[in-house]
A = this chain, B = another copy of it.
Amino acid sequence: MTPEEFRQAGHELIDWIANYRSTLADGPVVHAVSPGDIRASMSATPPTETLSMTAMLAELDRVVVPTMMSVQHPNYLGFFPANASLASVLGDLASGGLGGLGISWQSCPPLTEVEEVTVDWMRQLVGLSDAWRGTIHDTASTATFIAMVCARERASGFSARAGGIAGGAALVAYASDQAHSSIPKAVLVAGYGSDNLRIIKTDGPDYALDPKALDAAMAADVAAGRTPAVVVAAVGATATTAMDPVRAIVEVANKYDAWVHVDAAMAGSAMLLPEMRHLWDGVEGADSVTWNPHKWMGTILDTSLFYVRDPNELVRVLATDPSYLQSPVDGLVTQFRDWGLPLGRRFRAMKLWFHLSLDGVEAIQTRLRRDLINAQWLAGLVEATPHWRVVAPVPLQTVCVRYEPPEFASDADALDRHTLTWATAVNASGSAFISPAKLDGRWMVRLSIGAEPTERHHLESVWSTVRHHAESVPSTA
């Protein structure tokens, strides 16, 4: 495709996207699609003829649009918000258009330095001190994995440069039972072994990690000859946005020289609001922090920030220096390849730069405050409705609810079935998307507010849909 062909095709695509985004609220949040439907709608063999952009867009209209889940829809309250602000979409396009290659500082100097600058802007915007240095990973899963590996190396006397962890003492990782699935995955992939992950049970009403229980677990491991290596503190855990007490966790971890990784994937966006920063009080004592602008804040995926207090902890584990990547400026510059796994990196900072510059910080903050207020409002509405209960605190924008009519009072399994049945019915209706999750072993439904276009009246409509289905769907007990 020549630049002139690109110009024409690009204009066509921009219009298509503008139309898609401006009309998606008129359609369902979720479409009915069965496994294999989409595969079957495409050719099983590679294309043998070229398409015009018009024909390509017709393919998208035929294959993709009718099968998407519209996470950009105002009635999307599933999982967590996954905003893809149009300003950041344009930043991503600029990155692609420039076609830079991030394998060293030399291979694309602005890719590295704009990342240094924008990531530092983000540090300031969430109120972290200048003791932190950061980079952009694809996801918090990856950032957490990198933290696990660095913790493993610190705890094992930097075994990786020698005999590896085979033959050494068992290293142990700690997290609460509310921690994200990426934690056990990272523990496993980093080679700790699942037996060496201590899941600390949260007993209190706030589903927060208990520092005393953590301390006891770490002491027991030391007594058994194992080495505590890393504690993950969740700031906004996935099911209910539960908040682990970071300061107390740091104090305990310090007794055992363990790495503290703060997983604020969801709640990091809230830290753009000074009044919310008490939620990660003590974060300055941690070793690493990750949070995702690609969730609530809305810089399009993949934009996961990862901050460490000492980049040398990354570099000594992850650095490579093959002859073909050496350049005269080595030693004077940051080589972000040494801060993560991939060698080749995209110009991801462009998304942040565009998002902050075109939308503006103030507009983002205003939207986040809107959602926090709406969450409290919705929680109040739920609590005021007979047989409905808000089942967990609402420190952020996610309201966890259950419909608990008297008929299920003595049959928790039947209640579980009913919860899943009405949640599925809501989603099948196309008028909203919500996601159930388990809490204390029982199903509840998460109403995770924060899609960019979601206003109060959308929530009124979703709440009405939810009530309708929960209160009228026949029990399957």
Chain B residues contacting A267 (CB-CB under 8 Å) are none
Residue in B60, B69, B99, B435 whose CB lies within 8 Å of A94: B60
| CB-based closest 3 A-B pairs | A164-B193, A17-B97, A84-B99
Would you call B189 and A341 a contact (CB within 8 A)? yes
Please tell me which stretch of A216-224, A279-287, A327-335 contacts chain B, meaning at least 4 of its Cβ atoms lie within 8 angstroms of it: A327-335
Once A4-B22, A320-B185 are accepted as A-B contacts, the answer to whether A63 and B114 lie under 8 Å apart by CB is yes
Complex: A46 Cα to B78 Cα, angstroms: 31
**A50 adjacent to chain B (CB < 8 Å):** yes
Would you call A238 and B33 a contact (CB within 8 A)? no
* Cβ proximity bits A166-208 to B, threshold 8 Å, 1 near / 0 not: 1111110000000011101100111111111000000000000
Which of A65, A68, A79, A341 counts the most B-chain CB atoms under 10 A from its CB?
A: A341
* Cβ proximity bits A390-429 to B, threshold 8 Å, 1 near / 0 not: 0000000000000000000000000000000000100000
Complex: A108 Cα to B152 Cα, angstroms: 35
Complex: A80 Cα to B3 Cα, angstroms: 23
Complex: A94 Cα to B63 Cα, angstroms: 13
Would you call A121 and B46 a contact (CB within 8 A)? yes
Give the residue name and chain of the B residue nearest to A87 (CB).
Answer: B1
**A160 adjacent to chain B (CB < 8 Å):** yes
Q: Can you name 30 A-B pairs with beta carbons within 8 Å?
A: A1-B358, A3-B19, A3-B22, A6-B18, A6-B21, A7-B14, A9-B87, A20-B97, A35-B332, A43-B117, A50-B359, A56-B357, A59-B357, A67-B109, A68-B98, A71-B107, A72-B99, A82-B99, A82-B344, A84-B96, A138-B344, A141-B341, A160-B194, A162-B194, A163-B196, A164-B193, A165-B166, A166-B171, A166-B192, A181-B320
Would you call B324 and A238 a contact (CB within 8 A)? yes
Which of A11, A170, A323, A329 counts the most B-chain CB atoms under 10 A from its CB?
A: A323
Once A100-B71, A435-B324 are accepted as A-B contacts, the answer to whether A51 and B165 lie under 8 Å apart by CB is no
Would you call B42 and A114 a contact (CB within 8 A)? yes
**A92 adjacent to chain B (CB < 8 Å):** yes
Please tell me which stretch of A294-302, A379-387, A459-467, A469-477 contacts chain B, meaning at least 4 of its Cβ atoms lie within 8 angstroms of it: A294-302
* Cβ proximity bits A110-147 to B, threshold 8 Å, 1 near / 0 not: 10011011001110110000000000001111100100
**A366 adjacent to chain B (CB < 8 Å):** no
Would you call B6 and A14 a contact (CB within 8 A)? yes
**A373 adjacent to chain B (CB < 8 Å):** no
Complex: A344 Cα to B63 Cα, angstroms: 22
Once A97-B17, A99-B71 are accepted as A-B contacts, the answer to whether A109 and B38 lie under 8 Å apart by CB is yes
Give the residue name and chain of the B residue nearest to A103 (CB).
Answer: B79
Chain B residues contacting A322 (CB-CB under 8 Å) are 180-181, 238, 437
Once A138-B342, A161-B188, A168-B166 are accepted as A-B contacts, the answer to whether A358 and B50 lie under 8 Å apart by CB is yes
Would you call B108 and A69 a contact (CB within 8 A)? yes
**A372 adjacent to chain B (CB < 8 Å):** no
* Cβ proximity bits A1-41 to B, threshold 8 Å, 1 near / 0 not: 11111110111011111111110000000000111111100
Would you call A45 and B9 a contact (CB within 8 A)? no
Residue in B51, B117, B170, B438 whose CB lies within 8 Å of A164: B170
Would you call A142 and B342 a contact (CB within 8 A)? yes
